[in-house]
């Protein structure tokens, strides 16, 4: 699939799946079953976190519930500006719940920083973040990310939910995109 578009495989399907299982163990240790706050509420950020969310939830040995939020951060297709708009909000109230944001990737951290402020204002009992990937620039953000799958180099990556112009999400691995794919494209 996508012959010639992927420059290199950064994380194989096996590596991703193994790390997801480790993260699930870590998460389960932080949220005791039968807490008065009820089941852990996973809040997946669409669309990038979709595969991570479904794999993680099935790897978790504790009961969880799912909500999704879709936001768009303005900027080019390969970087974000920090100006965030809600495209789809949560269906349910999260007041008093243990909430775990499930993110695909943190780059500048601007999107997550906004999301944390937005969800905090809804009074959850707790609010933590798990991200599959983190890029080097993320160290400069103020957001405390509880759990990270992989630290990756500062390259644009696709696959396992991550897209370029809505393509490549369906790849089971994560790879870097050959620059020829987006060269000459002003961003979309």
Catalytic residues: 107
For position 156 contacting ligand XMP by CB under 6 A, the verdict is: yes
Max CA-CA distance within the chain? 54
Q: Does 104 bind ligand XMP (CB under 6 A)?
A: yes
- The CB-of-97 to ligand XMP minimum distance in angstroms stands at 23
Q: Using CB distances below 5 to 8 A depending on partner kind, what does residue 159 bind out of Mg ion, ligand XMP, none?
A: none
Tell me whether strands 147-151 and 84-88 are parallel, antiparallel or unpaired: unpaired
Which member of 43, 102, 145, 157 binds ligand XMP (CB under 6 A)?
A: 157
**Cα–Cα distances in Å, from 66 out to 58, 102, 182?**
12, 10, 34
Q: Give the pairing of strands 6-11 and 174-177.
A: antiparallel
- Residues within the interface to Mg ion (CB under 5 A): 163
- Residues within the interface to ligand XMP (CB under 6 A): 48, 73, 80, 104-112, 156-158, 162-163
């Amino acid at each position: 699939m996508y012959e010639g578009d992927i420059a290199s495989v950064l994380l194989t399907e096996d590596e991703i799946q193994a790390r997801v299982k480790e993260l699930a163990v870590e998460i389960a240790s932080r949220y005791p079953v039968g807490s008065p706050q009820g089941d852990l509420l996973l809040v997946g950020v669409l669309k990038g976190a979709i595969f991570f969310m479904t794999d993680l939830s099935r790897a978790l040995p504790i009961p969880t519930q799912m909500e999704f939020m879709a936001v768009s951060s303005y900027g080019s297709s390969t970087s974000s500006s920090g100006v965030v708009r809600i495209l789809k909000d949560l269906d349910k109230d999260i007041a008093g719940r243990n909430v775990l944001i499930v993110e695909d990737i943190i780059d500048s951290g601007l999107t997550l920083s906004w999301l944390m402020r937005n969800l905090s204002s809804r009074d959850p009992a707790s609010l933590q973040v798990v991200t599959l990937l983190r890029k080097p620039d993320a160290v400069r953000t103020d957001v405390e990310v509880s759990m990270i799958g992989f630290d990756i180099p500062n390259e644009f990556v696709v696959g396992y939910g991550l897209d370029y112009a809505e393509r490549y999400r369906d790849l089971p691995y994560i790879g870097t995109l050959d620059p020829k794919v987006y060269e000459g494209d002003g961003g979309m």
